[in-house]
């Protein structure tokens, strides 16, 4: 655990920290500030299956429209496929160097595939309101079907990156690749779309200084444009 995180613990607790396997503690503000798009990862570092499950388990607590959970995540482990994806990404090395490469996909038709599963724990009264509402909202509304995939899966992508940061890893969101080629490599079903990729791993080189945030008062307005 990096020394800087120890300050969150009373000194008496420090002795217990080595027993807390996998966990790195970081508050949300620190995770947001220190998350950067990292391009150089240690290719020898392995993220264990346990860590990956932990990362994903929390990441998918993200909100989704009507709780539809359109996202589908493909982790590409196969070395040959990674190489092909790197080539389809114009040689971006983070694709093959990262410990984990996630292709964030979404199911365009998730809204109509057994939607009762999204509300199975809700009271019957709530189910009988929401299930027709889902059908009504999405039927023949192709733009909404697609937009919701992007909205909901992108929020999950952010959670993945923040969760990774909290666990001591770095990440890089990516859309600099040929979507058709990557779709072929991962055998994307015809009614799914690719949202982005996320490379996750141990940073080998820091990100460059932030290139320039727009001033808050230019992009955060009140009541109207």
Binding-site ranges for ligand FMN (CB under 6 A): 36-37, 39, 92, 172-176, 196, 207, 210
- Cβ of residue 117: shortest distance to ligand FMN, in angstroms? 29
Nearer to ligand FMN, 78 or 175 (CB): 175
Nearer to ligand FMN, 40 or 192 (CB): 40
DSSP H/E element including 128: helix 124-138
**Cα 165 to Cα 93, 99, 120, 149, distances in angstroms:** 20, 14, 32, 24
Nearer to ligand FMN, 193 or 196 (CB): 196
- Cβ of residue 158: shortest distance to ligand FMN, in angstroms? 9
Determine contact, residues 104/197, Cβ cutoff 8 Å: yes
Residue closest to 205 by CA, chosen among 66, 93, 60: 93
Nearer to ligand FMN, 74 or 134 (CB): 74
Nearer to ligand FMN, 12 or 210 (CB): 210
- Cβ of residue 174: shortest distance to ligand FMN, in angstroms? 4
- Cβ of residue 210: shortest distance to ligand FMN, in angstroms? 6
DSSP H/E element including 59: helix 49-59
- Cβ of residue 69: shortest distance to ligand FMN, in angstroms? 20
**Cα 207 to Cα 17, 35, 40, 41, distances in angstroms:** 28, 10, 9, 11
For the chain, the farthest-separated pair of C-alpha atoms sits apart, in whole angstroms, at 60
- Cβ of residue 51: shortest distance to ligand FMN, in angstroms? 22
Nearer to ligand FMN, 134 or 160 (CB): 160
Q: Determine the angle formed by the axes of helices 49-59 and 142-166, rounding to 10 degrees.
A: 130
Residue closest to 31 by CA, chosen among 148, 159, 135: 159
């Amino acid at each position: 655990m990096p020394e800087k995180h120890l300050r969150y613990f009373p000194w008496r607790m420090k002795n217990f920290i080595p027993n807390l396997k996998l966990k790195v503690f970081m508050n949300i503000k620190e995770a947001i500030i220190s998350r950067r798009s990292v391009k150089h990862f240690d290719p020898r570092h392995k993220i264990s299956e346990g860590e990956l499950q932990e990362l994903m388990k929390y990441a998918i607590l993200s909100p989704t429209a009507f709780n539809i959970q359109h996202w589908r995540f493909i982790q590409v482990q196969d070395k040959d496929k990674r190489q092909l994806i790197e080539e389809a990404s114009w040689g971006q090395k983070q694709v093959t160097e990262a410990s984990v490469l996630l292709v964030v996909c979404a199911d365009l038709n998730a809204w109509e595939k057994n939607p009762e599963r999204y509300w199975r724990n809700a009271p019957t009264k709530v189910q009988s309101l929401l299930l027709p509402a889902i059908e009504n909202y999405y039927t023949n509304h192709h733009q909404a079907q697609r937009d919701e995939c992007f909205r909901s899966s992108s929020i999950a992508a952010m959670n993945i990156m923040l969760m990774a940061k909290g666990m001591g890893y770095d990440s890089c969101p990516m859309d600099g690749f040929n979507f058709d080629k990557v779709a072929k490599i991962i055998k994307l079903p015809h009614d799914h779309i690719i949202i982005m990729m996320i490379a996750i791993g141990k940073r080998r080189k820091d990100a460059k200084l932030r290139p320039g945030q727009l001033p808050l008062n230019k992009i955060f307005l009140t009541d109207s444009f």
